[in-house]
Copies of this chain bind each other. A is one copy, B any other.
């Protein structure tokens, strides 16, 4: 049987590639410290579960296709506090930020169309882009420059007649890069000048550690036709399993097209939207304490990396990932070796090898993404294992 050329071009998640080796290592009794996945360990606010438990309708009906009003209103209220005015029709509830992005790409990409994304980038963007027949055109960055990309000549050099959008994850996964207001303005200006959409994946918005204000591409009201924002409760409220996201844009044509997709799949899960609406009642103390916790974790990881000779890594300003260049020949081989050969008192460590975060073949082979989603003591031990592992691997 023949399969579509588009799905043939998709791959399995690079973050899950080493799962069988991890299972085998655990079967041998190894304890693995997981820095490879972005599943936070922070408790989901009780407001979510309370709202779900308080649902008393006898029939679990379809939600409205654009989302349940209480959830959409909660999100509008959240943006109002950021100084962003949104009309009710500017938002559509989605099944996670994932579906919100999928909808956008289905709406704007034809076969051969390109979307500019700074690399390294979140690998699942590949799947959403490839199923549309489009492709990701990377904006190159380097670990030595702290993966910064907000430079006019660097971005404009990659624009061609196939370019349809510039997409940025801000704060960045996997790099932790946080754009300044001027940098955001620059990207929006470039998009306007070249008649491109600018897609801001802003699901990590609250995770900034340098005292920055909370930023969004929606600030630029003069670019109402260009700006599309992807948002989600997953990371913000440690509610990844709720699969509740939102697509936001003031471009009415885009929203009309996205509505067709919304009606096609009928709705996002009703109960999860009810729970998600309540999450927005959580106060600023919640975000402050979560931010403080992650900042400490980041600093623990950076302190650990600083002790390893040959690591190239600028301190990331946001999200909960560190992208780093390691002094090893190949981080794929190194990860496999860590799971198959290495142990220190029965322990080993996992990260996400860098290659899967790049579109350019051959890039990222000596880089890794570390997700600092473990408790302090576990992170300290994980960084110790990484240091010992690099030493032993290079001394083979």
Contacts and interface: CB of A to CB of B under 8 A. Distances in A.
Interface of A: 1-8, 10-13, 16, 39-44, 48-49, 52-53, 55, 58-63, 65, 95-96, 98-99, 102, 106-111, 113, 124, 126-128, 131-133, 164, 195, 197, 225-226, 238-243, 251, 253-254, 257, 259-261, 263-272, 275
17 contacts: A1-B108, A1-B225, A4-B106, A4-B113, A6-B106, A8-B257, A39-B61, A44-B59, A48-B60, A61-B241, A98-B264, A111-B133, A124-B264, A127-B261, A127-B265, A241-B269, A271-B271
Q: Which of A40, A240, A251 has the most CB of B within 10 A?
A: A240
A254 B7 CA distance: 10
B62 A44 contact: no
A237 to B, nearest CB: 9
One complex includes copies of this chain to the number of: 2
Q: Which of A8, A43, A61 has the most CB of B within 10 A?
A: A61
A7 B52 contact: no
Contacts of A60: 44, 48-49, 238-242
Contacts of A266: 96, 98, 124, 240, 243
Contacts of A267: 241, 243
Contact of A63 (B10, B124, B241): B241
Contact of A43 (B41, B43, B58, B254): B58
A111 B111 contact: yes
